[in-house]
Amino acid sequence: MTQAFLPFALPDIGEEEINEVVNTLRSGWVTTGPKTKEFEESFARYIGGNVEAISVNSATAGLHLALEACGITHGDEVIVPTLTFTATAEIVRYLGADPVFVDCDLNTLCIDISQIESKITTKTKAIIPVHMAGLPCDMEAIIAIARKYNLRVIEDAAHTCPSKINNIYIGQHDSDAIVYSFYATKTITTGEGGMIVTKNTELAKRCKVMRLHGISRDAFDRYTSTKPAWFYEIVAPGYKYNLSDIASSLGLCQLAKADRFQVRRQQMAELYMKELADLPVILPPQVVNAETDLHSWHLFCCQLNTDKINRDDFIVAMSQKGIGTSVHFIPLHFQPYWQEYYKLKAEDFPNASKYYKNAFSLPLYTKMTHDDQLRVIKAVKEILR
């Protein structure tokens, strides 16, 4: 291997982000403060639809706060897809509730909407759909089911900044809350961080209180309001989920580039689609209507479609050619905790089990050069031909 190793993902950090963070450090306000407030307001404007945005230190924290604000508690059930990262389900357990797992739809890799109703019981209180890899779920169909059974909807939008369906951005639908991730590998990043978006003022109020120890005023208000700075009231046993101004400084710069990043990711995805079309690979699902739908292309998830090499050997071969790959995701019914605790079986989730056996993800991020991508394509072709 003569070329440097090409990692699976890298954040696209420019001088603007560096300068903004330096300015924040020099300001002396490094925890939750004016930059975080500005980031929240900018994000709400970006999503549109008169939403309110509440920043958090991770999407996991955001999902937890949203579920808690919806009143999910011990003994309740929450419907989640099995093809997702564990955070989607673990936050249900934080509250003493139980996740109920649903298979994926192989046409989208999102939750199989046709199976949701069969999983609903008298204990079911909410649905958490995941917009897999940046491809939006059919939110109108999911919300219709939720309304029929009086369920709450919290969207796991960790992969979708920006995505839209039927000309409506993810974040503008009538879900109770939509939660984004700004982790280092996401389409925009704050290093660690996330955002809750909601149209529900009471839910937003509860999330703000629980985000910082159950304090009735947030950290920024405590130091800028007319009340004494030292005075606060604890109204609930909250958490420590606030986002810092240092992270928000990154977020403001990244948000300004979000549309440009999406265009570049789209171009890269289209090149992959074109160049890999004649190989024994099942390529990622695309949007149904390119005129009205938008895919964020956070991930480029493929499946091998050959008996001549298995997925694990393919990943090793790519690594030997100096290229990082990954798998998204190991379905939760294969993970020891979920499998053992809920007695899950692979045959109960045939689509996700089939997908996982051959699944791999190719690097797709805006810091990759055109030559980097051609190198990935060349390696895939050499291995599979």
Single out the catalytic residue among 186, 199, 208, 321.
Answer: 186
Give the three-class secondary structure for 147.
Answer: helix
- What 3-state class would DSSP assign to 348? helix
Range 240-267 burial, b when 16+ CB lie within 10 A, else e = ebbbbbbbbbbbbbbbebbeebbebbee
Alpha-carbon torsion (310, 311, 314, 316), positive or negative:
negative
Measured on CA atoms in the order 41, 44, 45, 51, is the torsion positive or negative? Answer: negative
Which positions ≥6 away from 47 have C-beta within 8 Å? 53, 169, 171, 172, 197
The DSSP bridge partners found for residue 300 are 362
* Distance linking the first and last C-alpha atoms of the chain: 20
Q: In terms of Cα–Cα distance, which of 41, 286, 65 is closest to 178?
A: 65
186 given a catalytic annotation? yes
Catalytic residues: 186
